[in-house]
Amino acid sequence: MRQEYGRLRWIKHFRWSYILMKQKIVSTLFFLTSIVIGLGAFGHASQWWKHVYPAIGGRITDSGMIHLLFAVWLFVSGCMLSFGLLLLWAWRRIRMGDRSLAFIPTVIGLFYVTTGVMSWIWVGRFFALFVVLGGLLLICTLAWNGDKART
């Protein structure tokens, strides 16, 4: 009888160790994905002067149109930075046990997957990165919340 109690205690300890390690891995992956999304804003913004403006500068003569495209380009960069900061804030709160914020990475992940798939089809392979980032957010959110609900 005493031996069975020791075995059950070991199994419980192993289960808790597994869950804690899984949560650490998922948390780290979520954190890194959030950082990549946020820092992607700077890479996106820098592409205006390197690639976009030289490509359209000579074709569009209306300076108002170029300013509009520049404003939209910077707006998208700002959205990427805002998403990254929002995800880092949600990461911190979810780590402290606030599971009600799981909708934030879910919505952003679904947005990234949806626009990533459409852009991958219509524009090119680079946009597979958005599918991967959105998928990682969704997987991490599901794995993270699933463990917290069971424990």
6 domain residue, yes or no: yes
Name the residue range of residue 6's domain.
2-37+82-150
136-144 average pLDDT score: 93
54 domain residue, yes or no: no
CA–CA separation, 58 and 114 (whole Å): 33
22: its two tokens: 């899984």
102 domain residue, yes or no: yes
Q: What length is written for the chain?
A: 151
56-114 pLDDT, tens per residue? 877 877 888 888 989 999 999 999 999 999 999 999 999 888 888 999 999 999 999 99
pLDDT at 3 over 80: no
Would you call 3 helix, strand, or coil by DSSP? helix
Taking phi over 0 as left and psi of -120 to 50 as alpha, with beta for the rest, 107 belongs to: alpha
With a CB cutoff of 8 Å and minimum separation 6, the contacts of 106 are: 137, 138, 141
67 domain residue, yes or no: no
CA–CA separation, 92 and 149 (whole Å): 18
117 domain residue, yes or no: yes
31 domain residue, yes or no: yes
53 domain residue, yes or no: no
15-66 pLDDT, tens per residue? 667 777 888 899 999 999 999 999 999 999 998 888 888 888 778 778 888 8
Quote the number of domains for the chain.
Answer: 1
128 domain residue, yes or no: yes
